[in-house]
Chains A and B, each alone.
Chain A
Amino acid sequence: MKYIQGVIILLVLSVFCVGGLVADNHGTGEVLRIAWAEWPPADYLQELSKDFTKKTGIGVEIVQIPWPNFQEKVSISFSGRSELYDIVIGDSQWLGVNSKGGHYIKLTDWIDRNIEVSEIYGPAMTAFAEYPKGSSEYWALPAEVDANGYVYRTDLFEDSAEQKAFQDKYGYQLEPPKTYKQLRDIAEFFTRPDQNLYGIATYFSKEYDGITMGFQQVMWSFGGSYGDPKTYKVDGYLNSEDSLKALEYYKGLVAFSPPDAPNYYWQETLEAYKSGKVAMAMDYFAFLPGAIDPKQNPAYHDKSGFFIAPAGPKGQYISIGGQGMSISSYSKKEDIAKQYMKWFIQKPVQEKWAKLGGFTPHKEVLQSDTFLNATPYNKAFAASFPYLRDFWAIPEYAELLEACQTNWSAAIVGAKDPKKALDAIVRKHEEIFEDAGYYNE
Chain B
Amino acid sequence: METEPTEFNNPPRVGSFARTSTGLSDYQVKMVFIMPTMILLILMNIFPLLWSLVLSFYKYRVNRPDLPPEFIGFKNYVRLLSDPDMWGYFQTTAYFVVTAVSAQFLIGFGVALLLNREFRYKGLVTTLILLPMMLSPVIVGLFWRFLFKSDTSGLINYFLLPLLNFVQATPIPWTTDPKFAMVSIVIVDTWMWTPFMMLISLAGLSAIPKYLYEAADVDRASNWFKFRWITLPLVSPLLMIAILFRTMDAFKMFDIVYVLTREGGPGTATETVSMNLYKLAFRSFNTGKSCAMAYILLIVIVALSNIYVKYLNQLKREA
- The residues of A with any CB-CB pair to B shorter than 8 Å are 68, 71-72, 75-76, 78-79, 97, 100-103, 196, 205-207, 258-263, 265, 395, 398-399, 402, 406-407, 409-416
Q: A263 to B177: give the CA distance in the assembly, Å.
A: 10
The digit string for B212-252, where 1 denotes a CB below 8 A from any CB of A, is 00000000000000000000000000000000000000000
A260 touches B151 (CB 8 A): yes
Q: A206 to B151: give the CA distance in the assembly, Å.
A: 19
B173 touches A259 (CB 8 A): yes
Extra 8 A-B pairs, beta carbons < 8 Å, given A71-B283, A259-B151, A402-B283: A196-B151, A206-B265, A260-B149, A260-B150, A265-B262, A399-B283, A406-B271, A414-B178
A101 touches B151 (CB 8 A): no
B45-91 with Cβ < 8 A to chain A: 62-66
B269 touches A415 (CB 8 A): yes
B176 touches A260 (CB 8 A): yes
B264 touches A75 (CB 8 A): no
Is B190 part of the contact surface with A, judged by Cβ < 8 Å?
Answer: no
B285 touches A261 (CB 8 A): no
- Interface residue range, chain B: 20 to 34
The digit string for B160-176, where 1 denotes a CB below 8 A from any CB of A, is 00000000001101011
In the A-B complex, the 8 residue pairs with the closest CB atoms? A410-B267, A206-B265, A260-B150, A259-B150, A415-B267, A413-B266, A262-B176, A399-B284
Q: A71 to B282: give the CA distance in the assembly, Å.
A: 9
A207 touches B176 (CB 8 A): no
21 A-B pairs with CB atoms under 8 Å apart are A72-B282, A78-B63, A79-B62, A100-B64, A101-B63, A101-B65, A207-B263, A258-B150, A259-B151, A259-B170, A259-B176, A260-B149, A260-B154, A262-B266, A399-B284, A402-B279, A410-B267, A410-B269, A413-B178, A413-B265, A413-B266
Chief secondary structure at chain A's binding surface: helix
Is B268 part of the contact surface with A, judged by Cβ < 8 Å?
Answer: yes
Contacts of B268 in A (CB 8 A): 406, 410, 415
Q: Which partner residue on chain B sits nearest A69 by CB separation?
A: B282
Contacts of B286 in A (CB 8 A): 399
A260 touches B173 (CB 8 A): yes
CB distance from B180 to the nearest CB of A (A): 11
Q: A230 to B282: give the CA distance in the assembly, Å.
A: 28
Contacts of A206 in B (CB 8 A): 262-267
Taking A260-B150, A260-B151 as contacts, is the C-beta distance between A410 and B266 under 8 angstroms?
yes
Contacts of A265 in B (CB 8 A): 262
Contacts of A72 in B (CB 8 A): 282-283
Contacts of B266 in A (CB 8 A): 206, 262-263, 409-410, 412-413, 415
Contacts of B154 in A (CB 8 A): 260
Q: A410 to B66: give the CA distance in the assembly, Å.
A: 35
Interface centre among B170, B265, B284 (most CB of A within 10 A): B265
B282 touches A76 (CB 8 A): yes
B64 touches A101 (CB 8 A): yes
Name the contact of B177 in the complex, choosing from A103, A407, A413 (C-beta under 8 A): A413
Q: A196 to B271: give the CA distance in the assembly, Å.
A: 31
- The residues of B with any CB-CB pair to A shorter than 8 Å are 62-66, 149-151, 154, 170-171, 173, 175-178, 262-269, 271, 279, 282-286
Contacts of B64 in A (CB 8 A): 97, 100-101, 395
CB distance from B27 to the nearest CB of A (A): 34
Contacts of B267 in A (CB 8 A): 206, 406-407, 409-411, 413, 415-416
B63 touches A79 (CB 8 A): yes
CB distance from B145 to the nearest CB of A (A): 8
Q: A97 to B176: give the CA distance in the assembly, Å.
A: 33
A259 touches B171 (CB 8 A): yes
CB distance from A193 to the nearest CB of B (A): 8
CB distance from A386 to the nearest CB of B (A): 32
B175 touches A260 (CB 8 A): yes
Q: A256 to B177: give the CA distance in the assembly, Å.
A: 16
Q: A282 to B279: give the CA distance in the assembly, Å.
A: 27
Contacts of B176 in A (CB 8 A): 259-263, 413
CB distance from A36 to the nearest CB of B (A): 19
Contacts of A196 in B (CB 8 A): 151
Contacts of B149 in A (CB 8 A): 260
Q: A406 to B266: give the CA distance in the assembly, Å.
A: 8
Q: A103 to B263: give the CA distance in the assembly, Å.
A: 27
Q: Which partner residue on chain A sits nearest B181 by CB separation?
A: A413
Q: A271 to B99: give the CA distance in the assembly, Å.
A: 34
Q: Which partner residue on chain B sits nearest A75 by CB separation?
A: B63
Taking A402-B284, A413-B178 as contacts, is the C-beta distance between A263 and B265 under 8 angstroms?
yes
A398 touches B283 (CB 8 A): yes
Contacts of A76 in B (CB 8 A): 282
Q: A72 to B263: give the CA distance in the assembly, Å.
A: 14
Name the contact of B65 in the complex, choosing from A102, A259, A407, A413 (C-beta under 8 A): A102
Q: Which partner residue on chain A sits nearest B283 by CB separation?
A: A398
Contacts of B262 in A (CB 8 A): 205-207, 263, 265
CB distance from B72 to the nearest CB of A (A): 11
Taking A76-B282, A413-B178, A413-B267 as contacts, is the C-beta distance between A97 and B173 under 8 angstroms?
no
A205 touches B265 (CB 8 A): yes
Interface centre among A97, A262, A395, A398 (most CB of B within 10 A): A262
A409 touches B265 (CB 8 A): yes
Q: Which partner residue on chain A sits nearest B151 by CB separation?
A: A259
B283 touches A263 (CB 8 A): no
Contacts of B150 in A (CB 8 A): 258-260
Q: A71 to B279: give the CA distance in the assembly, Å.
A: 12
Contacts of B271 in A (CB 8 A): 406
Name the contact of B63 in the complex, choosing from A97, A263, A412, A416 (C-beta under 8 A): A97
CB distance from B293 to the nearest CB of A (A): 14
Contacts of A399 in B (CB 8 A): 283-284, 286
A258 touches B285 (CB 8 A): no
CB distance from B258 to the nearest CB of A (A): 9
